[in-house]
């Protein structure tokens, strides 16, 4: 079974349940789904294998004061994000302490109601970002390869509208580095 996309494909219980039923799962192992589903754990794994990440505070924020201290260290503007998030839920941009305090309360509330997990963290805001994904394929023997990248920047309400492959405007050096880092991340345990 291939999980497709959406919340079932991001459920770490799925591969184990299929294995128990004798069904071959075509997708990542439960540990990988769990690790990549938690943005803080995913960042830790990425840093561990030398994958570039957005500068940020590497732990869940305790309260508004912790958020303000982290933001002042990083420098404004910053982005609050839900650790278990996706689809833009639990995300808030802050340009100053006031924005951050209001955004923190909202992000925590939305994270808890959307993901049953109220942890939020903070990163430097990347203004005018590009959303580029690298598809990887792995087997049970440890072989991992990339299938190229796709540009997913055109979105509406944090949902992809257009995906274009190969990503336009990427130079060959950047394209190769992204592919190499995606493979490195897919092979970490």
What is the 8-class DSSP label of residue 164? B
Cβ proximity of 81 and 107 under 8 Å: yes
SS3 for 167?
A: coil
With CA atoms as reference, report the closest residue to 120 among 78, 180, 172, 74.
Answer: 78
Output the pTM of the full model.
Answer: 0.84
pLDDT for res 6: 66
Each residue's pLDDT, cut to its tens digit, for the chain (189 residues) gives 777 766 677 788 888 898 899 998 888 888 888 888 899 999 999 999 999 999 999 899 999 999 999 999 999 999 999 999 888 889 999 999 999 999 999 999 999 999 999 999 999 999 999 999 998 888 888 889 999 999 999 988 888 899 999 999 999 999 999 999 999 998 876
pLDDT for res 189: 63
Cβ proximity of 153 and 131 under 8 Å: yes
Q: CA-to-CA distance for 159 and 161, rounded, in angstroms?
A: 6
């Amino acid at each position: 079974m291939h999980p497709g996309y959406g919340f079932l494909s991001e459920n770490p219980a799925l591969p184990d349940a299929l294995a128990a039923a004798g069904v071959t799962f075509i997708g990542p192992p439960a540990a990988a789904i769990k690790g990549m589903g938690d943005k803080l754990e995913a960042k830790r794994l990425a840093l561990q294998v030398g994958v570039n990440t957005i500068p940020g505070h590497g732990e869940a924020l305790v309260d508004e004061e912790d958020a303000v201290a982290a933001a002042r260290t990083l420098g404004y503007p910053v982005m609050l994000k839900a650790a278990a998030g996706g689809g833009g839920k639990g995300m808030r941009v802050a340009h100053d302490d006031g924005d951050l305090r209001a955004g923190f309360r909202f992000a925590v509330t939305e994270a808890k109601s959307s993901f049953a997990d109220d942890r939020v963290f903070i990163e430097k805001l990347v203004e005018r970002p590009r959303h580029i994904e690298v598809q990887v394929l792995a087997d049970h023997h440890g072989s991992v390869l990339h299938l190229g990248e796709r540009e997913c920047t055109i979105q509406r309400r944090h949902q992809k509208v257009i995906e274009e492959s190969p990503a336009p405007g990427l130079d060959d050096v950047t394209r190769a580095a992204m592919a190499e880092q995606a493979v490195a991340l897919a092979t970490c345990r």
